[in-house]
Structure 1
Amino acid sequence: MKMKWMKLLLIATLLIYCIPQTAQASVSVSAQSAILIEQESGRVLYEKDAYRVSRIASITKIMTAILAIESGQLDEKVKVSENAVRTEGSSIYLKPGEKIRLEDLVYGLMLRSGNDAAVAIAEHVGGSLEGFAYLMNEKAQQIGMENTHFANPHGLDDHEDHMSTAYDMAILTRYAMKNEIYKEIAGTKIHSS
């Protein structure tokens, strides 16, 4: 009799483990829009209003960094303009006339969110802020960012038409993370030139 109950208990236990279980994950995100994608496939794992167009801020600097890296000019010296130095917000404390390697500016852009570095990069790579914004928008279209328009290299809210979506920014980040130099810079905690 005892053996019979043991067998029934074992069969019941096996049946419980064989029945597919479904679980609902509860995710709470305070942002107005958000997205989580899988890097390799690009498959969307979670999204909250990810296609809503809104202003973008410092995440803009991912595009600035990738354009600087892809320019092939990382070893070139950049002469810092008065315009770059006067850029408001976060800074790496550039001085007018200072010459600094483009690669070091990209580190300052990504590690310190340097708005002055963003302007110096834009002026060097694009010839002007307007020229760089043109390059940013060309690259955005090229990689499939259909609901994005860049107006500056840093993300300061000085332009009404500096907009994107969480989905488009995920496309950009996924693209950038395929670049080994970008991955190294973005993963660095401390950099000295």
Structure 2
Amino acid sequence: MPEALITRHFCGSLPKGFSEHVRSSASGINCDLHSSATLMTAHLPEVLNWLHGMEIPKDMLSVPCPTPVLLYDEELSMDHLLFHYDGTPSSASLIRNFIMLFEKNINSSRATIISPSFIPKSKQKEEQDIIQLVGSATAETSFIKLNFNRIGDFWSYAVKHECTVLVTTKAYQADLAKVLFHFYKGGMWYSKLSFYLAY
């Protein structure tokens, strides 16, 4: 993304009221002396307008940077979080990192974790640890087994159930760009949904 669209934040754990700060200010938060950013935020309509300036969102197909990205639209709300756990180490890691980063902002949140119907025995303890971690950090947590294998499935679920943040891996970044590129400003668009993408 162009540098002008990005705001960088430097916090191991973001201060309470982060959502209000993002809505009211274009400045980043620097709570620790990190050498690199722990989160980048960008206003989704501006990113999509940039994408619409290209024939195909080609730039989204390159290897993404390691810093988590949070794309928000009309507002940034932590009311209903949707976690995409797919049984991979990166999926577990990104959920742990999200909880650590937003722990001061999600204690009143509802959370939904979607996991594949079949998880190998070797991953079942990790899955239970993730459920417990999310449950201890949020006010209410539900866990669903669904065989979603496309990011569009998660996007549709999030829109239908009025989730406010979809937490998923950057491995789906190019596919997400195509979904958003296709549905932007259409009848199914849900302006209260934000996207947290990380490794």
TM-score w.r.t. the length of structure 1 is 0.28
TM-score w.r.t. the length of structure 2 is 0.28
Q: Which of 1 and 2 has greater Rg?
A: 1
